[in-house]
Amino acid sequence: MANPNKAKGTQWESAVRDYLNAFLGLVDESGAFLNPFDGGNVRRPAQEGAKDVGDIHAAPFVLEAKNTRSPAVPTWIRQAEIEARHAGFPYGIVVRKVRGSSVAMGRVHVSVRMWTRVRLALGMPADEFAAFYGWSVSLRGLDTSRWYLTTTVRDFAHLLADFRRLVPEGVSTRAVR
């Protein structure tokens, strides 16, 4: 790959995909899908040109993966939510690499609105949801559109597994308009 930054991004996307598939028990010891036709497999989709559909599909979530030195989290979250709509998924989130840490310690960022929608789909009170999945709040000034919540990839993997197990499919597949 000619662009080293693109190579780093692709490597991070693949690492997140592989971690989630292994965590969810969707692959064997060699990393091959147990059922290649399972819609629950976490995948890196082919890009769709002007209507980008996100970096990783982990139904019902679209993940926008970032491996950069300088964070721009609120901008990335808006991008993830747009790409989730393009892909027809209800939830768009950001997965950011933490330098010198394992994939499990990567950071997952989500808007307050998206966090609330996921929490309500699971039927959990805010304090219980925050504590159970390790969410912390980042407040950026008075502009609430810049506020977001953060957890680890490991805690998100637990959330994803619980969401798939507990939320009826009709609730999890409605895309936001």
DSSP string, 92-157: EEEEE--TTS-GGG-EEEEEHHHHHHHHHHHT--HHHHHHHTT-EEE--TT-GGG-EEEEEHHHHH
Helices (H), 37-95: 73-87
DSSP string, 6-31: HHHHHHHHHHHHHHHHHHTT-B-TTS
* Per-residue pLDDT, 177: 45
- Residue 59: how many CB atoms within 10 A of its CB? 20
DSSP H/E element including 66: strand 61-66
Helices (H), 24-61: none
* Per-residue pLDDT, 103: 98
Q: Which domains does the chain have, with CATH numbers?
A: 4-172 (3.10.310)
* Per-residue pLDDT, 1: 54
DSSP H/E element including 32: none
Instruction: Give average pLDDT by consecutive 10-residue segment, the chain, 177 residues.
Output: 78 97 96 94 85 94 94 94 95 96 97 96 96 93 87 98 90 52
Rounded Cα distance between 76 and 16, Å, is: 17
Rounded Cα distance between 154 and 71, Å, is: 20
DSSP H/E element including 159: helix 153-166
* Per-residue pLDDT, 119: 97
Q: Is-contact 61 81, C-beta < 8 A?
A: no
For residue 71, is the peptide bond before it cis, meaning its omega torsion is within 30 degrees of 0?
no
Q: What is the pTM of this model?
A: 0.92
